[in-house]
Amino acid sequence: MPKICLVGAGSTVFAQNILGDVLSSKSRGDYTISLFDIDPERLKTSEIVTRRICEALNLDRIRVEATLDRRLALQGADFVILMMQVGGYKPATVTDFEVPRKHGLRQTIADTLGIGGIFRGLRTIPVLQAICRDMEEVCPNALLMQYVNPMAINCWAIKEIAPAIRTVGLCHSVQHTAAHLADCLGEKVADINYLSAGINHVAFFLKYEKLHADGRREDLYPRLRALEVEGHVPSDDRVRFDVLKRLGHFVTESSEHFSEYTSWYIKEGRQDLVERLNIPLDEYIRRCEVQIAEWHALRRDLEGGKPIEVCRSNEYAAGIIHAAVTGQSALIYGNVPNNGLIQNLPDECIVEVPCHVDHNGIQPVRIGRIPSQLAAVMRLSVSVQELTVEAALTKKRDRIYQAALLDPHTSAELSPDQVWKLVDDMIERHGDLLPAYH
């Protein structure tokens, strides 16, 4: 009976999506579902959700366990899914926005790059170290599926901390954007063939084409460019279509994310850019508030006995588990060590590429060289990722300053002295959420 362990299972809505996918998949095997969280209230709600999913699907041989003991949850696991948010919405996420704002630095999502992404990585990596140590002792053969942002920073750290652990980082940006572009063009995503490659949140479609019934392959990039020229771009996606115009390829992560990954779009005194491109500053704070309200609504529904609806998502976890258990091959997009997969990116960085999955685990596809302008944009992020990981693992405070100094958006807005002061204030505000640096 394969055992699936969810670390951070108190992220109830996301856990519901993952478990709904897994338990309604074709394999529908007997599983042990082990839920772990540090918040007993949220853990209890997620346990109820898991049992309700089993009831809705008439699965009476699924074993569900919930515990506040992480090692016990991980014991003997075959699959480990990370979905925690270290520090929570309050105080950590609020800090990621409030402190930079006082220094004149505005952000949209702040969970992947920028000063917010750097500090989210710094407070998450020590927890990842502890999880990896536990896994090495109690489930060394498990496949670790890493969903926590900052994705590339976290996966890079895991590679350094525990290279023997089988790991893949998972995100939904590639498949979401593939479907979104099909909608923009009035096409069915089932008729679309695409190839994406890069780093998480800064990957680009190298190919986006329609497969016709007669076997023809139609390059859809001319039609996508025409949307921008004709002014038919979705109002919430103006940044990405502007990137398409500048770089010739469409980026897989949303406009609100990508707007803070470069020095191009969010600028002091350029409110005109923010308005014209419809950039939602402080967006993640609003989303967190909505997600918290959704959790409370879900909890009320469960306590009121409302039947749970099991809907399939397009997250990759269920497909990976099904392929690993049955041997039936699946194709996903995963975040893995580069090691030559993308020739013109550093070998040591984490890349997001197509991967085959079966009994043998995760097998990434070698891409070769990508267009040089795309690799150049990616390398801006890679340098910040590398320094953040080094800061976390060596506890060198200078590396935090340097990561922030090299961050495209932060360095475009703040002087070196301002960057140093911002980092100092972020460290002080984080308090015990961070280790001591020297």
**Phi, psi (rounded to 5 degrees) for 216:** -70, 150
182 token code pair: 């099909």
- Spatial neighbors of 169 by CB under 8 A, at least 6 apart, are 146, 147, 151, 152, 154, 155, 200, 334, 335, 336, 350, 352
Distance of CA 16 to the CA centre of its chain: 17
The owner of tokens 């699965």 is: 59
The number of residues making up the chain comes to 438
- Spatial neighbors of 274 by CB under 8 A, at least 6 apart, are 265, 266, 281
Distance of CA 240 to the CA centre of its chain: 18
Q: Which of 103, 172, 176, 356 is catalytic?
A: 172
Instruction: State how beta strands 330-337 and 361-364 pair.
Output: unpaired
In DSSP notation, 45-100 reads: HHHHHHHHHHHHTT--S-EEEEES-HHHHHTT-SEEEE---TTIIIIIIHHHHHHH
Amino acid residing at 215: G
Torsion of CA 374, 375, 380, 384, to 10 degrees: 130
CB atoms within 10 A of CB 227: 17
Q: Taking Cα atoms as reference points, which of 115, 383, 379 lies closest to residue 266?
A: 115
Q: Taking Cα atoms as reference points, which of 43, 99, 200 lies closest to residue 433?
A: 99
CB atoms within 10 A of CB 222: 8
The owner of tokens 């926005």 is: 97
The owner of tokens 């930079």 is: 100
Q: Active site includes 172?
A: yes
Amino acid residing at 360: N
| Residues labelled as active-site residues | 172
